[in-house]
Structure 1
Amino acid sequence: MSDPVWKSRIIPADQALPGRSTPVATAPTHFVTGRDIRVGCPAGMAEIYLGLGCFWGAERIFWETPGVWHTAVGYGGGTTPNPTYAETCTGATGHTELVRVVFDPDQLSLDQVLKLFWEGHDPTQGMRQGNDRGTQYRSAIYATNATQLAAARAAAERYQAELDAAGLGAITTEITEAGPFYYAEQEHQQYLARNPSGYCGIGGTGVVCPIGRPTTA
């Protein structure tokens, strides 16, 4: 299942790795906030799952943002239950690297979260992000309710117009309802807080997302 073909397209579910019935070990607490890494979403807050390429740098974007209450990294969008990092990197799980973002809508709007997402990476690259290649680096928004799903799709349309004007390609971001989220191993949680000089593959297009600006008639 390590054939490079699975690095360029999502593996069929019936050919994915079997995974396991129990979760892999992860960090007990968030390195920055000290909260339980698996903490639930409190009443009045919202959560969304975002894929921006390598989740080390992607997570830092959000834990450093005021209004974000909790983050964690993991895997989702694929088939294999409770995958490991090594398995996900083969392309044989179908998963992409994700950041779970729990935020307070009174301090940070959904549009602002999506703006951070669009501007924080290049959503036109398909099964890669920069030099990181494979299905596990694909761009993704996994929404937890219909409002998020509609907002993400509308934002994609508006951002595409800006990308077109800049001569860039079509958005390849997968936008769908969230499925199971599997927490990554302890060494990946808040990686850049524990390793400040560590690798960060995050880089945007330089094109501003128009969310927050009034639409023209």
Structure 2
Amino acid sequence: MTIEHAVLHTPIDGPVPEGKEVAYFGMGCFWGAERMLWSTDGVWTTAVGYMGGDRKNPTYGEVCSGTTGHAEAVKVVYDPSIVSYAELLRLFWENHDPTQGHRQGNDVGSQYRSVIFTTTDEQQQQATSSREAFQPTVTEAGYGPITTYIDTAGDFWLAEDYHQQYLHKNPLGYDACGSGICTIQW
């Protein structure tokens, strides 16, 4: 059974259509990050889930316990003829604080770490280069070293249905990136 995106009306699971590419980002709580990304021109679909841990198909409770090693992540399926991976990286860097380690604002725990999971060697190179290029901007803004972890994408486990497009379903819900902590402009 295909799960439909509540805003874009595209499938959030299943095969990636020809001509589309996949990127994964962890920017703290996945609700605000997903909304920012689904609103980006050229993004075909998004989904929230868990990546980078060692348990198959973890639950939100297990991830929040800190015992699985997973980060909250957003899967982005995008059309590279409309939005480039470099542009998605710019949005990633500018819409959270990449210096906080295992937290984002008041959200504390390893599941809230800043992370990029890459799907190609080119993405890996671009992500690493962009982190190095963004550090002087972060330093000039008075922040410390970037702690964002960059790794090859492994399994992506869809989060529970109530997390998918959460801020569309709950417009007054918590959004760390909408609260003003994400203000470093490149």
Instruction: Give the distance between the partners of 1:205 and 1:31, measured in 2 at CA.
Output: 25
5+ residue gaps, structure 2: none
Count of aligned pairs between the two proteins:
184
> Is the 1:67–1:103 contact (alpha carbons within 8 Å) kept by the matching residues of 2?
yes
Instruction: Report the CA distance shift for 1:205/1:191 in structure 2 as closer, same or farther (over 3 A).
Output: closer
The equivalent position to 2:50 in structure 1, one of 75, 95, 101, is 75
- TM (norm. structure 1) is 0.82
Equivalent residues in 2 for 1:37-116 (5 A)? 37-116=12-91
Equivalent residues in 2 for 1:143-182 (5 A)? 143-182=118-157
- TM (norm. structure 2) is 0.95
Residue by residue, what CA displacement relative to the aligned partner does 1:114-170 show, whole Å, maximum 9, x if unpaired? 000000100000000000000000000000000000000000001001112222111
SS at match of 1:41: coil
Misfit runs of 4+, over 3 Å: none
User: Is 1:185 matched with 2:181?
Assistant: no
Match of 1:207 in 2: 184
> Is the 1:27–1:185 contact (alpha carbons within 8 Å) kept by the matching residues of 2?
no
Instruction: Give the distance between the partners of 1:96 and 1:87, measured in 2 at CA.
Output: 11
> Is the 1:27–1:37 contact (alpha carbons within 8 Å) kept by the matching residues of 2?
yes
> Is the 1:27–1:189 contact (alpha carbons within 8 Å) kept by the matching residues of 2?
no
Please say which of residues 200-209 and 130-139 is displaced more in the overlay. 200-209
Match of 2:169 in 1: 194
- Tell me the amino acid that sits aligned with residue 153 of structure 1: T
Instruction: Give the distance between the partners of 2:145 and 2:70, measured in 1 at CA.
Output: 22
> Is the 1:119–1:206 contact (alpha carbons within 8 Å) kept by the matching residues of 2?
yes
SS at match of 1:115: helix
Instruction: Give the distance between the partners of 1:121 and 1:163, measured in 2 at CA.
Output: 11
> In terms of Rg, which structure is larger?
1
SS at match of 1:107: coil
> Is the 1:119–1:204 contact (alpha carbons within 8 Å) kept by the matching residues of 2?
no
5+ residue gaps, structure 1: 1-25, 210-217
How much is the aligned-residue C-alpha RMSD, in angstroms? 1.4
Instruction: Give the distance between the partners of 1:62 and 1:40, measured in 2 at CA.
Output: 19
